[in-house]
């Protein structure tokens, strides 16, 4: 976390978070920094990957978490205390990453290659949607038309169809699944 009043800068763990010795918590301390890393790297990576969705970014930030935690963390801390500290450090590093990346401007846009035939550029989506809707059973077709073509809420769609909201949700879910299968050509 950047220092107070410093909106930018490198992520650093909070200085006020000091870990107590293992004797205070009743758990055995780690034997080495390598043991701390091996025991915690997987869950730190998974936590960051779940938030970022990018393997490369998650790997980079995982290493930043351990580098940031190395100096203030003591080997005498229990496993639970180390995990809590690493979790707090991961949140801090992740927040700094989002601050740095979300404020970026797109400065260049790659040129899109022009197709040779202008008719190729015309979307076939409306025809595909119509074909998929025609292939659906009437109730499935109706719920999708109400929800996505007419923009109605789930409550309005359920009332129009004369079913409960829960039933309308189930119908919509099943209709979307079947529509996806039909669109991919896998209709049974």
| C-beta contacts of 119-124 below 8 A and 24+ residues apart | none
Q: Strand, helix or coil at 78?
A: strand
The stretch 55-71 carries a mean pLDDT of 90
- The domain defined by 22-102 folds into Rna Polymerase Sigma Factor; Chain: A (1.10.1740)
**pTM for the full model?**
0.42
CA distance linking residue 95 with residue 12, whole number of Å: 11
Q: How many CA atoms lie within 13 A of 64 on its CB side?
A: 22
CA distance linking residue 166 with residue 97, whole number of Å: 40
Convert the pLDDT of each residue in 27-41 to its tens digit. Answer: 667 778 888 888 899
| CATH number for the domain running over 124-183 | 1.10.10.10
Convert the pLDDT of each residue in 2-24 to its tens digit. Answer: 444 444 444 444 443 334 444 44
Statement: residue 79 has pLDDT above 70: yes
CA distance linking residue 7 with residue 84, whole number of Å: 25
Statement: residue 89 has pLDDT above 60: yes
Domain residue ranges of the chain, discontinuous segments joined by +: 22-102, 124-183
Confidence of residue 43 (pLDDT cuts 50, 70, 90): very high
């Amino acid at each position: 976390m950047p220092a107070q009043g410093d909106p930018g800068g490198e992520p650093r763990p909070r200085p006020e978070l000091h870990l107590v010795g293992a004797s205070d918590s009743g758990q055995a301390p780690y034997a080495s920094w390598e043991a701390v890393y091996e025991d915690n790297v997987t869950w730190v990576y998974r936590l960051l990957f779940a938030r970022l969705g990018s393997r490369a970014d998650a790997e980079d930030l995982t290493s930043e978490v351990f580098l940031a935690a190395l100096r203030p963390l003591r080997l005498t801390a229990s496993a639970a205390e180390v995990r809590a500290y690493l979790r707090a450090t991961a949140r801090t590093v992740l927040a700094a990453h989002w601050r740095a990346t979300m404020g970026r401007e797109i400065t260049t846009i790659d040129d899109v290659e022009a197709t040779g035939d202008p008719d190729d550029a015309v979307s076939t989506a409306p025809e595909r949607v119509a074909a998929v809707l025609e292939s659906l059973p009437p109730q499935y077709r109706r719920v999708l038309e109400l929800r996505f073509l007419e923009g109605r809420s789930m409550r309005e769609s359920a009332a129009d169809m004369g079913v409960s909201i829960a039933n309308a949700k189930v119908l919509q879910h099943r209709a979307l699944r079947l529509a996806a299968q039909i669109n991919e050509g896998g209709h049974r």
